[in-house]
Structure 1
Amino acid sequence: MATLCKPAVSVPEHVITMEDTLALARSLHADHPQLALALRLIENTGVAKRHIVQPIEQTLRHPGFEDRNKLYEAEAKARVPDVIRRALDHADLRAADIDMIVYVSCTGFMMPSLTAWLINTMGFNSHTRQLPIAQLGCAAGGAAINRAHDFCTAYPEANVLIIACEFCSLCYQPTDLGVGSLLSNGLFGDAVAAAVVRGKGGIGVVLERNGSHLVPDTTDWIAYSVRATGFHFLLDKRVPTTMEPLAPALRTMAAEHGWDAGGLDFYIIHAGGPRILDDLSHFLEVPAEAFRFSRGTLTEYGNIASAVVLDAVRRLFDEGGAAGGARGIIAGFGPGITAEMCLGRWTATGTGAGHDTAERQVLGTATGKAKRPPASETVSRL
């Protein structure tokens, strides 16, 4: 069965603290009629700091959508390869062992996708499948895991690389003055994350079931307005209440698998904000401590969009993982309102871990692969 291995996560070097954010809001929006409300909402996020790709002085300037998108591409090419290498190391694989790359991002646009550039520059085989996902927002981290699970179910010998690249600071719009926009300015951060889903072997979360759920008539709750100045993020005040309709979806999927969503051993939940985690704790009847991995991401990095669930999984690994066979859930939430959910068990045995080169050369035709190059050639290409 497919195993989600330890993710690698990287955040940019520029840091903005909660104190910096509040001071900037007071300075930039001193005459805003709802400033007090915005400040209170930002404080309530519990975000201690965030990381951004540019110094704050440059972030606050808007040179135009074209220049911002060029910066997105340059930063992605500069930062993504390192997390890929580390994720491959965590999975004990090489670039040539990967059969599909799932790339998720909602903060910039490239065509061809970054996946094509990666295949050309990092030693991936030319027949590696590409699955770029751009319009699921924060839910895309969960969707990436699920699509990797689906692919490995269809091709049990396959390996899938997941990448989440989010530079939310490049979507800052100085003319957006609604309370939701001001809150977003104090909530979102930048990060790059990658992880491998192994079809065979590996240490981590063995994926057993996945599902999706869309809350009807909520398509305008989280959205982009695409204008000449780029992506304008729209956040409805009802978004924090989404756990009331989504908690039953989590319960239903778990029940269909014979599990109780309120009685699991670990929870990896998209940390859109503290209210999401607080409400889910209430509706699933689990202690707040159950969401410590997600809350750690929110506190230290802010809402890093699709990268949240991968960072929360990393924190599970860093804590030492879980007992063998421990059951858990991973869920990402985003525009739609959409939930992407999966269930899995922890394994530390790593059965079949390793490059298993000879076996994969023989079985490679199951995924339409040609014979891979010798190991020495593959390493040199990295």
Structure 2
Amino acid sequence: MAVLCRPAVAVPEHLITREQTLELARDIHGDHPQLDLALRLIGNTGVQTRHVVQPIEDTLKHPGFTVRNALYEKEAKSRVPDVVRRALDHAELTADEVDMIVYVSCTGFMMPSMTAWMINTMGFRSETRQLPIAQLGCAAGGAAINRAHDFCTAYPRANVLIVACEFCSLLYQPTDLAVGNLLSNGLFGDALAAAVVRGQGGVGVRIERNSSRLVRDTEDWISYEVRDTGFHFRLDKRVPGTMSVLAPAMRDVAEPHGWDIADLDFYIVHAGGPRILDDLGKYLSLPAETFRYSRRTLTERGNIASAVIFDALDRLFSEGGAVHGARGVIAGFGPGITAEIALGTWTGIPGQPSPPSDAVRSGRAAQPGSAARTWSANRAGS
């Protein structure tokens, strides 16, 4: 089965604290009739620090959507290669062994996608499959893992590279005074992440089952309004209550697999805000410590959209990983309202070599005959 290897994560160099965020809100929106509510909501996020791709004085300017999108492309091309190379190193693979690239982002737009640029500049084969995902927001990290799992199920010897690139600060709208938008100004941060799903070999989470769930009639709860000034984030006050639906959905995914979702060894879930984690714990009867990796991501980096689950997973790796065979869940939540859920078991020991993959996989040991023909037939649809 496909194994999700250790992610590589990076954050920009510019830091803003909760105290700075609150002070800026008071200075900029001092006459806002709901300022006290906005300040209270920002204070309750639990976010202590965030990283942004520009100095804060530049972040607070709006030079226009054209300039911002150009900055998104420039920063993505500058920062993506490092996390990709580190993720490939974690997976003990090279670029030419990747069969598909899944690129997820909801904070900028490029066509052709970053996948085309990566193939042209980073040593990937020209036949590498491309799957850009742009409209699943924070759920896209989970969707990328699940689509990688699907691909490796169809092509068991394939490898998939996932890249998440989120510059949420480029969505700042200084004239948008909706309370939900003011809250988002104190919640979201910038980050990049990359991870490899190996069809064979690898150390990490062996994905065994994945599922998607849409909560009907919630399309306008998390959304963008696309205007001349770019993307305007919309967040409905009912969003935190969705765990009453999504927690049972997670249970529904686990039970046919013979697992109890409330009795697993590790939980890597999207940290949209503290109430999401609190309610998930309440509905699954789990202690707060269960979601410690996600809480640390939220506290230290804010809501980094599709990159959250990779940052949380990297924190599990940093603690030494889990014991071999430990069971866990990875779940991303986002607009729709959409949940992307994967169940998996831990395989291998971090810091030790990956289990050997089929020698035919790399082509280095392939000899003419049935084995080589089998690999040729199976390789990602070749």
How much has 1:102 moved relative to structure 2?
0.2
The reply on whether 1:146 has 2:146 as its aligned counterpart is yes
Contact 2:22 2:39 survives alignment (8 Å): yes
Partner residue, 1:97: 97
Give % identity: 72
The 10-residue stretch of structure 1 (162-171 or 345-354) with the greater mean CA deviation from structure 2: 345-354
Aligned pairs for 1:306-317 (under 5 A) are 306-317=306-317
Partner residue, 1:321: 321
Q: 1:191 to 1:215 in 2, by over 3 A?
A: same
Deviations 1:313-346, CA, capped at 9 Å, x for gaps: 1011001101110000000000000000000000
How much has 1:364 moved relative to structure 2?
4.0
TM-score by length of 2: 0.95
Structure 2: runs of 5 or more not aligned: 367-371
Structure 1: runs of 5 or more not aligned: 371-382
TM-score by length of 1: 0.95
Deviations 1:95-139, CA, capped at 9 Å, x for gaps: 000000000000000000000000000000000000000000000
The reply on whether 1:158 has 2:158 as its aligned counterpart is yes
SS at match of 1:20: helix
SS at match of 1:242: helix
Partner residue, 2:281: 281
Partner residue, 1:135: 135
Structure 1 CA distance for aligned equivalents of residues 365 and 210 of structure 2: 26
The reply on whether 1:228 has 2:244 as its aligned counterpart is no
Structure 1 residue identity aligned to 2:125: N
How much has 1:352 moved relative to structure 2?
2.1
The reply on whether 1:259 has 2:250 as its aligned counterpart is no
Aligned pairs for 1:100-249 (under 5 A) are 100-249=100-249
Structure 1 residue identity aligned to 2:43: E
Contact 2:139 2:340 survives alignment (8 Å): yes
Structure 1 residue identity aligned to 2:83: V
Contact 1:157 1:360 survives alignment (8 Å): no
Q: 1:174 to 1:264 in 2, by over 3 A?
A: same
Q: 1:86 to 1:192 in 2, by over 3 A?
A: same
Structure 2 CA distance for aligned equivalents of residues 369 and 336 of structure 1: 31
Structure 1 CA distance for aligned equivalents of residues 192 and 329 of structure 2: 22
Partner residue, 1:351: 355
Contact 1:101 1:128 survives alignment (8 Å): yes
Structure 1 CA distance for aligned equivalents of residues 103 and 365 of structure 2: 24
Structure 2 CA distance for aligned equivalents of residues 194 and 155 of structure 1: 21
Q: Which runs of 4+ in 1 moved over 4 A?
A: 353-356
Deviations 1:165-203, CA, capped at 9 Å, x for gaps: 000000000111111111000000000000000000000
How much has 1:368 moved relative to structure 2?
5.0
Total equivalences in the alignment: 370
